Structure 1
Amino acid sequence: MSGRMSPIALPPHVLERADVQAALRCHDFGKVFKLARQWGGISFVKIADACDIKPERVGRLARGEGAITTYEKITRIADALAIPGHLVGLAPRPWEQTQLDALPHTEHICRLPAPEVRAARVSPRAFGAAAGRGGGDVERRRFLAASGVAGIAGMLPERNAGSHLGRREVAQLRLRSSRLRRLDDVLGGADTRHIYRTELDGTVSLMRHASYSETTGKQLLTIVSELAQQAGWAAFDAGDQREASILYRWAHQAASEAGDRALEANSLAFLAYQQVSSASSGVATAVASCRTAGSDAPPTVRGLLHERRAWAHARAGEAKETEAALAQAEEALSSSDDEPGPEWASWVDGRELRIMKGRCWTELHRPLRAVPELEAALSDFDDAQARDKALYLSWLAYAYFDAGEVEQSAQVIGRAIDLSEGVGSVRPRQRIQTFLTRLHPHRSLEAVAEVLRRGA
C-alpha cells in the first residue's frame, strides 16, 4: 500500500439504498463494500486504494469476517468514499462544509451549468396497462398520483428561452411552480426530486439566456428560491441529505438576493428541519429563521416558522421552549384570515398545527398530550396523502407505546405500514423499522407478532 488515498465517491443511487444506509448506521463496512461493488460497480481494489486498506482485508470484511470499529478508520472510510457524516453517526465532515462554502452567490446563478436531468413522462397507454395489473388502495393511489403528473404537465405554459421576460412570463413561471408543488401532496421525494430539479435547472437556464429588468430579476430569483426549496425537500425526502443541504443554501442565497425575507427565513427553517433529522441540533438555525422573518411577516409564514422552531426545541428536549413556540404558532395562525400569505405557506393551518403539537409532545414523551392532538388531526386525513399520513401515524404509535398501550401502538403502526407501501420516501420506512425494534420485546402479544411479520 502506498499510504496515499485516492478518494472515490459512492454514487447517489448507492448511498440512497435502504440496505446501504442500514449497513452504514451499524458501521458494517464489509456489507457497504459488497453493495458498492454490486450496485455501483466499484471494485474491491479501488475501495482498498481509496480507504488505504489492504485488498485482502476488504475482501474479508465483505465476507463478514472482522469489523471496522475505531473512530480513525471510520472517518477515513467516510472521507475516502464521500459518505456524509450523518449516515455513520459523525458530525458533518470538513469536505461537506467545503462543498457548501463553494456554492456560487446568486448574482452568478444564471451562469450555473444545468445537469442533464429529464423528468419522467408516462403515456396514457402505460397508465392503462398498469391499471389492468393492479388493485387496492395503494395501486389506485399510484395511478391517481401519476395521472396528476400527466395532467399538470399538459397545463404548463411553454418557456421562451432567449426572449425578454416580463410580468406575463413571471406569472407563468409562478403557475408552473405552484402546480408542481402540489405533487408533494401525493408523491414522495424519490418520485418528484428529478421533476423539481429539472424545473429549477430550466428556470435558471431561462434566466441565463433571457433579458429582463431589475425588478423582474428579483421576482425570478424568488421563483428560483421556491423551486430550490422544493427540490431540496424532495431530495431530503428521498434520503439525499447532501443535495438537500446544498439546495436549501442555494435557496437562501437566492431569496436574500431578491430581498424576500419571508422566503429567506423559510430556507433557514428547511435547513433547521434537516439538521434536526440528522441528529444535529437545529435550534439555532430555527431561531434564526424566526428572527429573519420578523414580526411583520404574513401570519401563515410566522406560524410555519414557529412550528419548525417548536420541533427543533422538542428534539432537543426543551419542553418549555417547545410550548412557547407552539403558542406563538397558534397565535399567528389565529390571525391568518386577515392577511393572506404566500402560496408556498398556504398549507399551514389548524390541523397542521395539531399534528405538530402531537409530534412535539411525542418526542418529549408526553403521550397524554400527544395522543388527543394526533387522533383529532388524523381522523379525516386523506389516505391519498400516504407519505404524510404514514409518518404522522408513526408518531401516534410511539405516543401509544409510551402510554403503555402496546397493542394499540401495534395496530396504528400496522396502518402506517399499509400506507407506506410503494411511497417514494425513505422517512416512513425508517420510522416504521425503528419502531418495530421497540415492539420486538413484546412479540408474545398476538397483535404485535402479526405486525412484526408484516413489517418483515
Structure 2
Amino acid sequence: MPEPSRPQELPAGLLANPEMIRACRLRNFTRVFTLVKAHAGIYPSMIARRCELTPSRVGEVMAGRRQLQHMDVIERIADGLRIPGHMLGLARRSWETPAPLARERKPSQAVAAESATSAAVPSAEVDTVLALTARTNPNPSTLEALRSSIEDYWRRDDQHGGETLRPAVVGQLRYVVGLLKENRPEPIRHGLYGVAAELARLTGWTHFDARQFSQARAYFKEALHFAKEIDDREFMANVLACMSLQATYEDKPGDALAFVAAAQDEARTAAGTTPRVLSMLSLREAFAHASLGSQSATHEAIDEAHRQFERIQPNDVDPAWVTYFDVPKLIVDTGIAHGRLGEAATAEPLIADALRRENSSNHRGRAFHAFWLARTQLKLGKLDQACRTATEALEPAMSVVSERVAGHLREFHDELAPYRREPVAVVFESRLREALPRQLNGSPRP
C-alpha cells in the first residue's frame, strides 16, 4: 500500500489524452492545470500545495496571465502532479523507478537528503524574476551563442546520447520561442526561427534515439513549422529525412519512402542545395527501398548518392547540419543499405572500413555501426569475428545512453541464440552480462 504522503497518481486516461500530451509538450501549464482539475479532481489549492507554488500564482497561470518557464518549477510540477518526465521534456524522474528497483537509503540519509532538497528549492517568485531578466533584445551575438550551444549539444549527443541533454535543449527551445513572440528586426527574426527549428529537430532526434517515436514525430513536425516560416527548404528536407529514417525503425517503409521523396523535392526546389545534402538524401532513399526489398531501386539510390558525393567541391557552402556526412559516413551508410537488403557479403567490408575511419569520440556511432557489422558477420557464418566485433562494441556502448544502440545489441544477442553453446558465444555472453546487464532486459524493437 502506498505511503500516505505519496502524491496521488494521475489517471492513466489523462496521461494518454492527446490534449494532455500536447499541453505537456508545449509546457502550457494553463491547459495542464485545467485538465488536471477536470479529470483528476485536483483543484488549484491542491496543485499549489503539491507543486510548492502559491495559490495566487496557480490562479494566474490558470487564467493565462502567467507562464512558468524556470526548470526547477517545471520539475516541481512534474513531481507534485506525478507527470512522467518525458512528457515535459525532463529526464526520468526518480519516482518513476519501481520501488523494488530503487536503491534503499537509510532513514537518516533520506531525512538529510529531503532537508537539503527543501533548503535548495527556490522561492515561489524565482521563475518570475528569471523570466524578467530573460527579456533581452537578441542581436547577432545572441544568435551566434545559440548556434554554438546547438553544435555543443550535437557533439555531446554523439558522445553520450541525448537523454540527459533533452531538458536543457527543450528549455532553450522554449526560451527562443518566447523571444519570437515579440516583434524583431527581420534578420534577427529569421535567425531565431532557424535556431528554433534546429532545437526542435534535436529534441525530436533525442526522442527518436530513445525509440519514443510519437514524441519524436511531434517535435519533427514542430521543426518543419519553424523552418517553413522562413522558407528554409533545405532544412525542411533535413527534417523529412529524419522522419524517413524513423519510419524505417517503425517498420513503415512506405512512409519512409514518402518522407524521403518529399525531402528530395524540397531540396531540389531550394536555391543552392549542395551535393553533400543530395548525397545524404539519396542514401536515406536507399534505406527506404531496402526496407521494401527493392534491390534495383536500392542500388540506383546508392549509385546516385556516390555520384553526388563525387561532385562535392572544397568551396561548397554546406549547411552545418550536414557536415557530419563525410567519407566514413558515406561508406558505412552504403554498407548498411546493402545490409538492410540482405547483401551481407557486400555490406561487411564497407562497414568494417568505415569503422576503421570513424572518429573515436563518436561513441554512439561506433557502437551502432559495430553491432551492425557483428550482425552482418553472423549472417555470413563468421561466428568468431562476429563475437569479437560485438565484444569490442561493448566499450563505446557503455559510454552512451541510446535505446537504438541497445536495440541493435539485443538483436545481435537474439540472433546469437543458435550458437549459444559455442565457447566464443559463451565468452561474449559473460562479458555482455558483466558490462551491460540491463540491456538484455529492454523492450524489443518495434
Structure-2 separation of matches of 1:377 and 1:205: 42
**Residue in 1 that maps onto 2:148:** 175
Q: 1:314 touches 1:360 (CA, 8 Å); kept in 2? A: yes
Structure-1 separation of matches of 2:200 and 2:359: 27
The structure-2 alpha-carbon separation of the partners of 1:42 and 1:454, relative to structure 1 and needing over 3 Å to count, comes to farther
**Residue in 2 that maps onto 1:414:** 391
Structure-1 separation of matches of 2:229 and 2:414: 47
Structure-2 separation of matches of 1:360 and 1:42: 45
* Residues 237-256 of structure 1, C-alpha deviations (whole Å, 9 max, x = no match): 12322221111000011111
* Residues 336-371 of structure 1, C-alpha deviations (whole Å, 9 max, x = no match): 224121111111111101010111111111111101
CA RMSD of aligned residues (A): 3.2
**Residue in 2 that maps onto 1:213:** 185
Q: 1:165 touches 1:211 (CA, 8 Å); kept in 2? A: no
Q: 1:261 touches 1:292 (CA, 8 Å); kept in 2? A: yes
Structure-1 separation of matches of 2:404 and 2:207: 12
* Residues 31-76 of structure 1, C-alpha deviations (whole Å, 9 max, x = no match): xxxxxxxx99869xx67xx6xxxxxxxxxxxxxxxxxxxxxxxxxx
- 2:261 aligned to which of 257, 276, 287: 287
**Residue in 2 that maps onto 1:349:** 326
**Residue in 2 that maps onto 1:370:** 347
**Residue in 2 that maps onto 1:203:** 176
User: What's the CA shift for 1:99?
Assistant: 5.9
The DSSP-based 3-state class of the residue aligned with 2:220 is helix
TM-score with structure 1 length normalisation?
A: 0.65
Structure 2 unaligned runs (5+)? 1-5, 27-64, 73-89, 92-131, 434-446
- 2:335 aligned to which of 353, 358, 366: 358
**Residue in 2 that maps onto 1:190:** 163
User: What's the CA shift for 1:193?
Assistant: 1.8
User: What's the CA shift for 1:112?
Assistant: 12
Structure-2 separation of matches of 1:240 and 1:40: 26
**Residue in 2 that maps onto 1:138:** none
Q: 1:440 touches 1:452 (CA, 8 Å); kept in 2? A: no
- Counting matched residue pairs gives 327
**Residue in 2 that maps onto 1:82:** 16
User: What's the CA shift for 1:116?
Assistant: 5.0
Structure 1 unaligned runs (5+)? 1-38, 51-79, 84-94, 104-110, 121-158
The structure-2 alpha-carbon separation of the partners of 1:406 and 1:113, relative to structure 1 and needing over 3 Å to count, comes to farther
The structure-2 alpha-carbon separation of the partners of 1:324 and 1:416, relative to structure 1 and needing over 3 Å to count, comes to same
**Residue in 1 that maps onto 2:59:** none
The structure-2 alpha-carbon separation of the partners of 1:438 and 1:81, relative to structure 1 and needing over 3 Å to count, comes to farther
- 1:387 aligned to which of 348, 361, 364: 364
State the AA in 1 paired with 2:336.
Answer: R
The structure-2 alpha-carbon separation of the partners of 1:207 and 1:160, relative to structure 1 and needing over 3 Å to count, comes to farther
Structure-1 separation of matches of 2:188 and 2:298: 40
1:20-419 correspondence to structure 2 within 5 Å: 82=16, 117=71, 161-208=134-181, 210-281=182-253, 282-294=256-268, 296-337=272-313, 338-419=315-396
Q: 2:160 touches 2:399 (CA, 8 Å); kept in 1? A: no
Structure-1 separation of matches of 2:207 and 2:230: 24
TM-score with structure 2 length normalisation?
A: 0.66
User: What's the CA shift for 1:385?
Assistant: 1.6
The structure-2 alpha-carbon separation of the partners of 1:211 and 1:162, relative to structure 1 and needing over 3 Å to count, comes to farther
The DSSP-based 3-state class of the residue aligned with 1:189 is coil
State the AA in 2 paired with 1:205.
Answer: G
Q: 2:278 touches 2:308 (CA, 8 Å); kept in 1? A: yes
Structure-1 separation of matches of 2:236 and 2:201: 10
State the AA in 2 paired with 1:288.
Answer: A
The structure-2 alpha-carbon separation of the partners of 1:167 and 1:382, relative to structure 1 and needing over 3 Å to count, comes to closer
The structure-2 alpha-carbon separation of the partners of 1:359 and 1:112, relative to structure 1 and needing over 3 Å to count, comes to farther
The structure-2 alpha-carbon separation of the partners of 1:423 and 1:163, relative to structure 1 and needing over 3 Å to count, comes to closer
State the AA in 1 paired with 2:293.
Answer: G
Q: 1:375 touches 1:396 (CA, 8 Å); kept in 2? A: yes
User: What's the CA shift for 1:177?
Assistant: 2.3
User: What's the CA shift for 1:191?
Assistant: 2.4
State the AA in 2 paired with 1:268.
Answer: L
The DSSP-based 3-state class of the residue aligned with 1:392 is helix
The DSSP-based 3-state class of the residue aligned with 1:236 is helix
Q: 2:377 touches 2:385 (CA, 8 Å); kept in 1? A: yes
